[in-house]
A and B are shown apart, each in its own frame.
Chain A
């Protein structure tokens, strides 16, 4: 029982992490709240569904394909709704990405209908049992893939040239530019990576909840924001761990607290407000001096 709950928490948490990493990367390099990030996740879910349904490809091909597709979506968003903006009004990117949210969501409702769509069976491995407990192999796989993606990302940011450029741009656009970093391209790449991760999270959400609707974006966007804050703005490692903490905390709160009231959401937003009031830099320290 407890093992299954922990696994549920880790599964939920690792999808939160993937969303939050995207937020924190974009916030890090651009100081922008990408409002449409949740919709990119939703788009990823539907892309996953249609790739599996139309081509019947297995998960290990579907997932990278979806990530490429949502990555491209992220590039388009950056190119059309972020890059043309003037830099002197800090709310402009928020508003233009709200515009993107409205467009993506309504297109999704037109294409897929306002109701849930069933996510096809993507993982065909039998569940196994540890002692008397049945462990879902799909859940193990989701947690595993998420952790793998995070490790890869961490390696990219810490060791590669692109990662170094991203860190430099996060520090200062001006200085990075002086030192020969192509700032515009780094911002574009960051949007691509963040959106690809959101797409992966979308597929995971589809697999674990078995159904997808055009309205799931906002829920995960809000959870992603909580996690971004929990880990500290701009702190990628913090977002990874923060997501797992929130996922576990939510599952534990469901188990321990009375079931007739839906405390799950109060719980996560309560955490967010407490952090904002008492420790705005998050649990693991913010990489950004001012928000």
Chain B
């Protein structure tokens, strides 16, 4: 039971991270900096609780705001570039953040940051954030801002012609994504009680990207589904435990060949709605 709870909690944190990747993604910005923002949130909040005695909730929020601010600053140069250039910019940024924490003695450098106060109700907090994010995203979809973000992602020029402020839309999406990632990092730090720079490497950013694209990119349920399923499934296949990573890689390739839009698409949502109506 304990094991199940811990896996589910991690899945919740992964959902938060996948959604943090998804919001800039709506505007066409593919960010490999999310693990870096997560690190900023984790270290920021851990310093608050472990060194300054700040309570849990404000500390995690502080971590999120800190990551959001850094995201805003990185979002500025990110406005000018696209495609592979943006991918490389965010990748480089993520690595720099990691190397900085690796050398920062105040937070334990390479040895890691120990004895962060443990939050017993991490699972509850994580899923509270997930629910809040789901409400946020479903309202965003129908709002003016959400449609503007979608329009920027579909075609920047067309969006600009109909009067969308591309700069603010992209910058907002990027900083909000960083903020959410920071929150995820704060929650993770107080669950693990110990953080080290290795926990926030490039491969983790890639992992969040994989969650999102595997789950589906047309609607926010995709990243939610992808993060949840890809975290839980491997845990239950004890029989193929030894080969699960290889199978995972194979699954990714096959998935991109037969259904590149991800498992959950708009058609899936339609089908589910129809089913619910019949039932």
Contacts from A to B (Cβ < 8 Å)? 27, 31, 33, 80-81, 84-86, 88-93, 95-96, 98-103, 106-107, 110, 218, 222, 225-226, 229, 233, 261-262, 265-266, 269-270, 272-273, 276-277, 280, 290-291
Contact = CB atoms under 8 A, between A and B. Distances in A.
Given A85-B257, A233-B84, A269 B95 contact: yes
Nearest to A266: B99
B158 interface: no
29 contacts: A31-B84, A80-B253, A85-B257, A95-B256, A96-B253, A98-B249, A98-B252, A99-B248, A99-B249, A99-B250, A100-B253, A102-B245, A102-B249, A222-B95, A225-B88, A229-B88, A261-B103, A262-B102, A265-B99, A266-B99, A272-B89, A276-B81, A276-B85, A277-B89, A280-B81, A280-B85, A290-B82, A291-B81, A291-B84
A91 B246 contact: no
Which 7 interchain pairs have the tightest Cβ spacing? Answer: A99-B252, A102-B249, A103-B249, A291-B83, A269-B92, A99-B249, A99-B253
Contacts of B91: 222, 225
Given A222-B202, A276-B89, A277-B77, A291 B253 contact: no
A273 B246 contact: no
Contacts of B251: 99
B252 A96 contact: yes
B80 interface: yes
Contacts of A107: 246
A89 B87 CA distance: 16
Interface residues of B, number: 41
B8 interface: no
B213 interface: yes
B80 A277 contact: yes
B209 to A, nearest CB: 8
A229 to B, nearest CB: 6
Interface of B: 30, 77, 80-85, 87-89, 91-93, 95-96, 99-100, 102-103, 202-203, 206, 209-210, 213-214, 242, 245-246, 248-253, 255-257, 260-261
A95 B251 CA distance: 11
A225 B91 CA distance: 10
A218 B202 contact: yes
Nearest to A35: B206
Contacts of B203: 218
Contacts, number: 117
A141 B186 CA distance: 50
Contacts of B250: 99, 103
Contacts of A218: 202-203
B91 to A, nearest CB: 7
B141 to A, nearest CB: 21
B246 A291 contact: no
Nearest to B25: A91
A95 B93 CA distance: 21
A276 B206 contact: no
A110 to B, nearest CB: 8
Interface of A is mostly: helix
B245 A106 contact: yes
A130 B83 CA distance: 49
B257 to A, nearest CB: 5
A218 B98 CA distance: 15
Most chain A CB within 10 A, of B84, B91, B209, B210, is at B84
A11 B84 CA distance: 28
Nearest to B214: A95
Given A262-B99, A262-B102, A273-B89, A102 B84 contact: no
Contact of B88 (A80, A95, A276): A276
B248 to A, nearest CB: 6
Given A98-B210, A276-B89, A291-B82, 4 more contacts: A98-B206, A100-B253, A218-B203, A291-B84
A119 to B, nearest CB: 25
Nearest to A228: B88
